[in-house]
Amino acid sequence: MKLFLKCFLLLCVVALAGFGYLLFSASQQGPLSMPKSVMIERGMGSRAIAQTLANEGIISSPYPFLLQTRLLQRGITLKAGEYAFEPRLSMLQVIEKMHRGDVVVHNMTIPEGWTTREAQEALAREPLLVGAVPAAKEGSILPETYQFERGEERGAVLARMQKAQQTLLSSLWQNRSTNLAIQTPEQALILASIVEKETGRHGERERIAAVFHNRLRQGMMLQADPTVIYAVTKGRYKLERPISKTDLTTPDAYNTYTVAGLPPTPICNPGKAALQATLNPASTNDMYFVADPEGHHQFSNNLEQHNQYVKALRASERTSEAANNPAPIPTKPAVKTAKKKASSKKSTKPSRKKKSKS
């Protein structure tokens, strides 16, 4: 009985010493000397995680890590993802970091005015994402900067982009101005995509949106050049040439020079500013606008004034072109003078003798 009691007490002392050592070692600095990123894949168990961390030099040995997570912190969840470990992190700090899911996040920016195809191509090119890019409708993405994790599905990132657009459009629609020429959020999205392509200048979007609203109210064609470009390309490529007369006159559902009203779908993904301008346009009677080479617009409420602006702009363009490309100054051709050479031959013509007076 005494022997059994002594053995039991000895085991308790050993266990307590081991427990104390485990706690002490878990709080000591780790072996990592330089920052390092490690990917913990989805589906990895605690043993595989411990071995990976040991192989990467984040922890000294996998066994104390397993004891810590399985016995001392039983039930703790270690989340998958890409982790950036700082030098000398203790085992407890590593476990806490992975329990919080403090993973590395990366950024992807979708610029205003991109087509859905361009956004899909950007997702497909991102090497840190996995999976196929799902199909998506034109105009269904909100241009913005999005965060994602290494190994995340491309479809999940695209879904966040679409959800962000739906949320924003719903909010802006609830706070729209009255007496608009559009009746649904879908129409607002289509018109905003045209505004987005017409200008990126702050302060002009509202006036351009007003022109389109005024034209729609009066049943006038929008005559928006970006819709002509989309009619040609369908958003599949960039038109690397000026719009031609044929482009303007070719009937197409997207060509607002040949079809009244709005196109059937958006022509790009409009940003928040374009959506706000479309739903809260300026209060003007403008019916026309024309852009100068710097992207500034001249607005007018009648065709006569608009034609004057266009005429003055074209004259200014011709003057600028002439100043930048002056005609060459003609040079007077050099006159070559031939030197007269003295003849070395004797004349064969007989000489006439002067007659003497008798």
- The residue among 38, 42, 19 whose CA lies nearest residue 85 is 38
pLDDT of residue 354: 38
- What is each CA distance from 255 to 15, 216, 224, in whole angstroms? 82, 15, 8
CA angle, 155 as apex, 152 and 156 as ends, to 5°? Answer: 55
DSSP code string of 127-147:
TT-BSPPPP--TT-S--SEEE
Are 223 and 216 a contacting pair, CB within 8 Å? no
pLDDT at site 331: 56
Residue 338 confidence (pLDDT) = 47
Residue 326 is predicted with a pLDDT of: 63
Helix ranges, the chain (H): 2-26, 46-55, 62-67, 91-100, 116-125, 154-174, 185-198, 205-217, 225-233, 245-249, 272-279, 303-324
Taking the chain (358 residues) in runs of 10, the rounded mean pLDDT of each run is 59 52 66 94 91 94 85 77 94 92 96 97 97 97 97 97 98 95 97 95 93 96 96 93 95 96 98 97 94 84 88 78 63 50 41 38
Compute the distance between CA of residue 64 and CA of residue 20 in angstroms, rounded to an integer. Answer: 12
6 by DSSP, 3-state: which?
helix
The reported pLDDT for the residue numbered 182 is 97
Nearest to 235 by CA among 117, 142, 141: 117
| pLDDT of amino acid 355 | 38
In whole angstroms, how far apart are CA 86 and each of 52, 56, 61, 103, 348? 16, 13, 18, 13, 113
pLDDT at 66: 86
**pLDDT value of position 123:** 98
pLDDT at 201: 86
Q: What is the pTM of this model?
A: 0.78
What residue segments make up the domains of the chain, in order of their start? 27-100, 106-170, 181-318
Name the fold adopted by 27-100.
Dna Ligase; domain 1 (3.30.1490)
**Two tokens, residue 19:** 């427990």
Task: For residue 247, count other CB atoms closer than 10 A to its CB.
Answer: 18
Give the tens place of pLDDT for each residue, 84-138: 999 999 999 999 999 999 999 999 999 999 999 999 999 999 999 999 999 999 9
